[in-house]
Amino acid sequence: MHTPIGVKPVAGSKEWREAWQKRAFAHISNGYKHIYIAINSPEIFLLVCFSSEFNTKRAGKII
């Protein structure tokens, strides 16, 4: 049975496990992207790190 749109799947269900695996894979692949960039060009890696830090801090503020 599929979960209706806008409703979170029940923890432990097949849909929940599939979504969790996709999130885990996305985090891992993003980590590899940052490592690859760092090896090939340290300046770009620093730029990516600082820009992601800035975006995270800005997202927490209420404008």
pLDDT in tens, 7-51: 677 777 888 888 877 877 777 777 777 676 666 665 655 555 555
Q: 37 lies in a domain?
A: yes
Number of domains in the chain: 1
Q: Has residue 1 got a pLDDT over 60?
A: no
Q: What does the pLDDT read at residue 43?
A: 63
Q: 22 lies in a domain?
A: no
Q: 42 lies in a domain?
A: yes
Q: Has residue 3 got a pLDDT over 70?
A: no
Q: 13 lies in a domain?
A: no
> Domain of 40?
28-56
- pTM exceeding the 0.85 threshold for the entire prediction: no
Q: 50 lies in a domain?
A: yes
Tokens for 15, please give them: 């849909």
Residue 4: C-alpha distances to residues 8, 9, 21, 33 (Å): 8, 9, 20, 34
